[in-house]
Amino acid sequence: MPNRSPDELFQLIHTLEKAEKRNFKLFVRRNASSDEMKIIQLFDAMERMDHYDEDLLLRRHPEIRKAQLSNLKAHLYRQILSSLRIMRDEENIDIRLHEQFDHARILYNKGLYQQSLKVLSRIKELARTYHQITFWLQALVFEKKIESLHITRSFEDRAEQLSREVEELDDRLVVIGRLSNLALQLYGWYIRSGLTRDPGEERSVTEFFEAQMPAGAALLDGFYERLYYHQCMTWYGFIRQDLLLYYRSCQRWVYVFRKEPAMLRVEAPQYIKGMHNLLHAHFMLRNRDRFLECLTEFEAFHHSDIAQSNANLRVQSFVYLYIAKINRHFMEGTFTEGLALVTEIEERIASYEQQLDRHRILVFYYKIACLYFGSGNQDKTIVYLNRIIHWKADLRADVQCYARLLHLIAHYELGNYEILESLIKSVYRFMVRMKNLSVVERAILEFLQRSFHKDPRMLKPDFEALRDRLLPYEHDAHERRSFMYLDFVSWLESRIREVPVQEVIRARYLAAERRAGAGH
């Protein structure tokens, strides 16, 4: 896994683009003093380092004394942020509103109350247009302050109108807060544990969801109310493996932006996440045509001015676009073809080291391992799974479990029988500890325990028996979660037919295409 530097200044410097670095140096040199020149030296020194090493930094730059390093770093950090602040993005609604508030306060402090009120009126209109309720509310509070302290000759019922507006916005903020909290908590559940594993977990999620969902939330019409409501429904449906609810909620999440396209620039990360979930829903339901339409649309967005406007959007759109591209190869059974993506993904992971969270890297490694497994390259499968297994991460217990199970199967495929017994015990203990040992996983482990002692040429009837035993569980409400992580049936078919896994999936995919064509 990437070796991240814990130094925040180092991280910030290594996220800067060329124009931002040039602007920083111009900004500092405008009022250059000896201290300013020292922070430029420190900036250059840290920029040249691959990883932050304070001792090496001090040895190479004796003009920087250890006693002053902490203050210099703090000063440099502030100066970088200040230089970035003046490179303001005209399209960023938050920055525009903050600037207008600054103007309103300056005018107020000058005693120009009417001019200040005019600016506040523009702020409210801009905030209303882009659904920025907190800014809208701040403008109203400031307006109330001016009206209560000064004679502005406003119309008679101004006080009552301001009070009503504030109360209405307060009520909206409460609902938005509850919905966004619930969406975040459900997503946190998924990141920690994945999908529900048994009726008890499903009951627990449902009870929590019903207790936290505000009454009448489905009927609310504000942009953020609808956005967060559909996010709640998306995570609720997905965690419970209700794929139709998941799919419909993802559609509505994306439709919120199609209904109000001006919000796409304001909340682009939310749109990216919605498109990712919609692509995943199409993938899970095998809606190939709709998946490809959605993928084409999302790839076009990835290359758009909006998605390329800052590092955060570039990274997020890259992550979800390439997850979708891998899923396409899973769907179509073109695993070997999909391996062409691996080099670029690895390069991007290295390039985006400071911005990518551990969860995304873990998911990429698992999906890459599955590409290699499907193409028949078990050695490379094990390499990528080892990156997950040996990385002490306290998230995605589901991926951690299935990485170990796939790791075990890959060793079985390679005939590494001398280590299988200890691996089986290790995987079994881990899955029990993670409460992730369902009927399907138990059957696989028991089969491997029994079969690795036998002559592989005599195992075909055993593979057929296990396949027939597992097939009914593909549609079981709780056991089917296992097949979402690992296509056990296709693996067993590949052993029965003595072909790579990808050939089994490819044949099934082409047969479905022929049936769909005949239906038309």
Rg over CA atoms, the chain: 28
pLDDT for the residue numbered 155 = 57
pLDDT for the residue numbered 386 = 95
pTM confidence score: 0.86
pLDDT for the residue numbered 151 = 61
- Mean pLDDT lowest among 104-108, 154-158, 212-216, 267-271: 154-158
Tally of CB atoms within 10 A around 308: 13
- In this prediction, residues 386-405 reach a mean pLDDT of 84
202-256 pLDDT tens trace: 999 999 999 999 999 999 999 999 999 999 999 999 999 999 999 999 999 999 9
Checking if the pLDDT of 519 tops 80, the result is no
- In this prediction, residues 192-206 reach a mean pLDDT of 87
pLDDT for the residue numbered 153 = 55
Cα dihedral value 246, 249, 255, 261, nearest 10 = -90
From the list 124, 146, 145, the residue with the least C-alpha distance to 135 is 124
Q: Phi and psi (nearest 5°) for 135?
A: -65, -40
318-366 pLDDT tens trace: 999 999 999 999 999 999 999 999 999 999 999 998 888 888 999 999 9
CA of 340: how far to CAs of 72, 276, 324, 343, in Å? 45, 21, 14, 7
- Mean pLDDT lowest among 79-83, 149-153, 189-193: 149-153
pLDDT band, very low/low/confident/very high, at 152 (cuts 50, 70, 90): low
pLDDT for the residue numbered 359 = 85
409-440 pLDDT tens trace: 999 999 999 999 999 999 999 988 887 788 89
275-290 pLDDT tens trace: 999 999 999 999 999 9
Encoded amino acid at 123, one letter: I
62-112 pLDDT tens trace: 888 888 899 999 999 999 998 888 775 666 888 889 999 999 999 999 999
Alpha-carbon span 14 to 460, nearest angstrom:
55
Checking if the pLDDT of 395 tops 80, the result is no
19-73 pLDDT tens trace: 899 999 888 887 666 667 889 889 999 999 988 999 999 998 888 888 889 999 9
pLDDT for the residue numbered 193 = 79
Alpha-carbon span 121 to 161, nearest angstrom:
14
Q: Phi and psi (nearest 5°) for 235?
A: -70, -35
pLDDT for the residue numbered 393 = 64
Alpha-carbon span 379 to 116, nearest angstrom:
68
pLDDT for the residue numbered 516 = 75
pLDDT for the residue numbered 2 = 47
Could you write out the DSSP letters of every residue in 351-396? HTTTT--HHHHHHHHHHHHHHHHHHT-HHHHHHHHHHHHTS---S-
